[in-house]
């Protein structure tokens, strides 16, 4: 099974996952990184790790519909079977959802359904919650609302700052995402062989 990772920024989760594909900890082949920001640091990580990478923006395509059409053509060109979102800061539209139904997985830095969308860590911190979390889920047409694969709570300590909480959430992401992703990829592989 050929896998594409979508990312928008620094790429720490991308690198963690890429190494696990490389060692065989994750089933399938990491065949592509797609980034919607050509200058994002994740592009340099992909080059360093010898992962094929492509990048273009919505504005370079004219609009979201043409952008998603171009992304879909890229995925078909690379014969991609499964998409992993790792810090991809765009809402995935119907063009990709219809083609990859139940084959797009996302990592979200909150215990969904709490704090969907952006700035989840800061919002939980500012609400003085005792805990937040990390969720791995399939995506659907609703924002951060698809079926949950795995979740893990992250305590918010009295001594925390947003930065220390964010570091702990990211540490939890790096532990949970590979385990949940392995489960999702194995399930997708079984479906393919039925």
Q: How many CB atoms lie within 10 A of CB 87?
A: 21
64 is in an annotated binding site: yes
106 is in an annotated binding site: yes
Is the CA virtual torsion 84, 86, 92, 95 positive or negative?
negative
Residue found under tokens 């980034």: 35
Following DSSP, what letter does each residue of 153-184 receive, concatenated? Answer: EEE--TT--HHHHHHHHHHHHHHHHHHHHHHH
117 is in an annotated binding site: no
172 is in an annotated binding site: no
- For residues 9 and 11, what is the distance between their CA atoms, to the nearest angstrom? 6
How confident is the prediction along the chain (194 residues), in pLDDT tens digits per residue?
Answer: 999 999 999 999 999 999 999 999 999 999 999 999 999 999 999 999 999 999 999 999 999 999 999 999 999 999 999 999 999 989 999 999 999 999 999 999 999 999 999 999 999 999 999 999 999 999 999 999 999 999 999 999 999 999 999 999 999 999 999 999 999 999 998 887 76
List, in order, residues 6 or more apart from 57 with CB less than 8 Å away: 36, 37, 38, 67
Contact, 16 vs 24, CB < 8 A?
no
Please give the domain boundaries of the chain with CATH numbers for all domains: 1-100 (3.40.50.170), 108-135+142-194 (3.40.50.170)
The two structure tokens encoding residue 108: 């979200």
Assess whether 37 carries a catalytic annotation. no
Residue found under tokens 């949970």: 176
Which pLDDT score, from 0 to 100, does residue 194 have? Answer: 67
Which pLDDT score, from 0 to 100, does residue 179 have? Answer: 95
* E-state strands within 46-191: 53-55, 82-85, 104-108, 131-138, 148-155
User: Which residue among the candidates 108, 170, 174, 193 is catalytic per the annotation?
Assistant: 108
Global pTM reads 0.94
């Amino acid at each position: 099974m050929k896998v594409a990772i979508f990312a928008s920024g620094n790429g720490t989760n991308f690198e963690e996952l890429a190494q696990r594909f490389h060692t065989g900890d994750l089933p399938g082949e990491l065949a592509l990184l797609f980034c919607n920001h050509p200058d994002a640091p994740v592009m340099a990580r992909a080059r360093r790790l010898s992962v094929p990478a492509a990048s273009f923006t919505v504005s370079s395509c004219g609009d979201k519909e043409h952008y998603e059409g171009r992304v879909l053509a890229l995925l078909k060109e690379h014969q991609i079977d499964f998409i992993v979102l790792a810090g991809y800061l765009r809402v995935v539209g119907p063009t990709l959802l219809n083609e990859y139904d139940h084959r797009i997985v996302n990592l979200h830095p909150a215990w969904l359904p709490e704090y969907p969308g952006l700035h989840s860590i800061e919002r939980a911190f500012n609400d003085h919650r005792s805990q937040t979390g990390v969720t791995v889920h399939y995506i659907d047409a609703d924002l951060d609302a698809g079926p949950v694969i795995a979740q893990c709570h992250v305590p918010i300590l009295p001594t925390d700052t947003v930065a220390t909480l964010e570091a702990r959430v990211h540490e939890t992401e790096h532990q949970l995402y590979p385990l949940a992703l392995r489960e999702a990829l194995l399930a997708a592989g079984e479906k393919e062989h039925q």
